Structure 1
């Protein structure tokens, strides 16, 4: 039989009464100096044990028994065989092997969510975002870029038109998503081109000046069109947003996309695209150049000129690792 001492609260006043407890098979018996009571065990609940703190036995009609006799209370807890969430949590917490297993499971679940779950959901959200939302994001991102990194282009309108027309001829032979080519000058970014979340694609005056042939400019822009076709910039922003992807998916909150738009420039600078995204954009450019009968050699020559050391690009927006490895397929295709 389980016996222990405690303090009884009648549920009406805050004054405790010292009691002695005996627990039988089906009933709990309580003795006070002036009364004797019994309660069916099926009417009793007990708080899960937490360290060395006292626990509470809950009786009918808001009555309680508080006790520090941990051994007796654990025995009572086992006899009651409670299956509440709190009891189960305490049971698992008290078993080191379960704690370790739960920790490993939690880490694995978070890892799976980070590496597989978020990218999968981000890819889905990127596909269903309306075009007007993407255009809004482009407008806000471009406004921030113009304030921080970009200046008005110095290229004559005739030069801008000629480059745009050559890119349109490229798209006449391969599938290009709708795009808007924008020209800007940027001493900070240097020779560069980059795609935003929607249809906007920016090329700097410095890249145009660096090119020795217009086909080199088209080749670089073909790569950026690969990013636009696959919505890489939007996917990257959604992935960086993490759990916010779910908010976008569930609520469709337009203000969330506005927050994404202002973060895109920083993502492009600090993070850049993943290796898989770069390879996908390279593959699009290579196949497009071959269809347009433009030598893929032009892509290799301008990348080597921008990055003469053939290492990771030093320009903020051109986060393209291993230049030599990247241009090799273009050189191989040029020799066929």
Structure 2
């Protein structure tokens, strides 16, 4: 049996009455001057402890007990005490509560900024290269059915660009079937984007903007870098979230190909992260040097694209920097590359 002193309020008047409370297995007994009550434990509602204030026990019909004997209340209602213990301790240690909130916020931020990208990178490593081609084809179907038509460039111009692209992809034994797809795309502007599997879409507007073919080669080398590092797949996995990551890790080809509905939006609306862009830039600089071209051509075309971006930003047309975030640092790195 548990006993403790308390103050009784009948819930109808403001009168307070000192009482003795006896706790039994199924009920409590309240004894005072002219008062004797028995209340089943199941009908007693116990307020959680708040700092060092009195503990309130709510009885039927609005009556209430108040006591300073927290230990007795906790002994009488052990299950409720277990559930309320953390709240009580956090209230007494508000610094711990603030630290816990900060940790939750920090973890949520890390999950979005670093956690999902890292998980997507790991998961992409479990996806066979053969699946990239299927994902790329389905994504290409989306573009060609909604945004892009065959290129309006003359045949000789297209052939010259194809030779440039072939030079950049020659000897790349990575399992991808590289192909350049010149297209006249509505609402995309001067742009180029790589698809999983090796297809690189290049718009007529980009060709017209470039001052020379070395600048076009620089953009294409950058896009090849996205293919080799599987950035399109990683971005689609990241955008789709945990379900797609699990599918990649466990080899569910059907679920992976459903990413084709996510990738076009990710490519055109979200764009690549700075980390992925830097990775593709580094590959482009290296590859340009290997084929006898200067990385400075990359800086030149970036400057031209930046001018276009400044004129068109805020409109409906997507330009290169809508899908490939640019910074002065990227241009400086290209100029500094040997």
TM over 0.5: yes
Query: 1:305 aligns to what?
Result: 304
Inter-partner Cα distance in structure 1 for 2:209 and 2:268: 21
Alignment of 1:44-63 (within 5 A): 49=47, 54=58
> Once superposed, what is the RMSD of the aligned Cα atoms?
4.2
Inter-partner Cα distance in structure 2 for 1:234 and 1:70: 63
Change beyond 3 A, Cα 1:74–1:214: same
TM-score with structure 1 setting the length? 0.71
Deviations 1:198-251 (A, max 9, x none): 422111122233334333322211000111111122222222334445543566
Inter-partner Cα distance in structure 2 for 1:187 and 1:30: 78
Inter-partner Cα distance in structure 2 for 1:29 and 1:103: 39
Query: 1:23 aligns to what?
Result: 23
* Contact 2:126 2:249 (8 Å CA) reproduced: no
Query: 2:207 aligns to what?
Result: 208
DSSP-derived class of the 1:116 partner: helix
* Contact 2:239 2:262 (8 Å CA) reproduced: no
Change beyond 3 A, Cα 1:23–1:197: same
TM-score with structure 2 setting the length? 0.71
Change beyond 3 A, Cα 1:193–1:79: same
Query: 1:326 aligns to what?
Result: 330
Deviations 1:174-195 (A, max 9, x none): 6666223222111421221111
Inter-partner Cα distance in structure 1 for 2:305 and 2:134: 32
Inter-partner Cα distance in structure 2 for 1:209 and 1:153: 12
Change beyond 3 A, Cα 1:165–1:301: same
Deviations 1:30-59 (A, max 9, x none): 669xxxx9xxxxxx9x98745978599xxx
Structure 1: give runs of 5+ residues left out of the alignment.
6-19, 38-43, 57-66
Equivalenced residues, count: 304
Q: Relative to structure 2, which stretch is displaced further, 152-161 or 224-233?
A: 152-161
Query: 1:153 aligns to what?
Result: 151
* Contact 2:132 2:197 (8 Å CA) reproduced: yes
Inter-partner Cα distance in structure 1 for 2:250 and 2:5: 56
Query: 1:261 aligns to what?
Result: 260
Change beyond 3 A, Cα 1:112–1:321: closer
Structure 2: give runs of 5+ residues left out of the alignment.
9-19, 31-37, 50-55
- Displacement after TM superposition at 1:293 (Å): 0.7
Query: 1:86 aligns to what?
Result: 83
Change beyond 3 A, Cα 1:170–1:225: same
Deviations 1:91-137 (A, max 9, x none): 45654614333212211222232233222111111221223432232
* Contact 1:312 1:323 (8 Å CA) reproduced: no
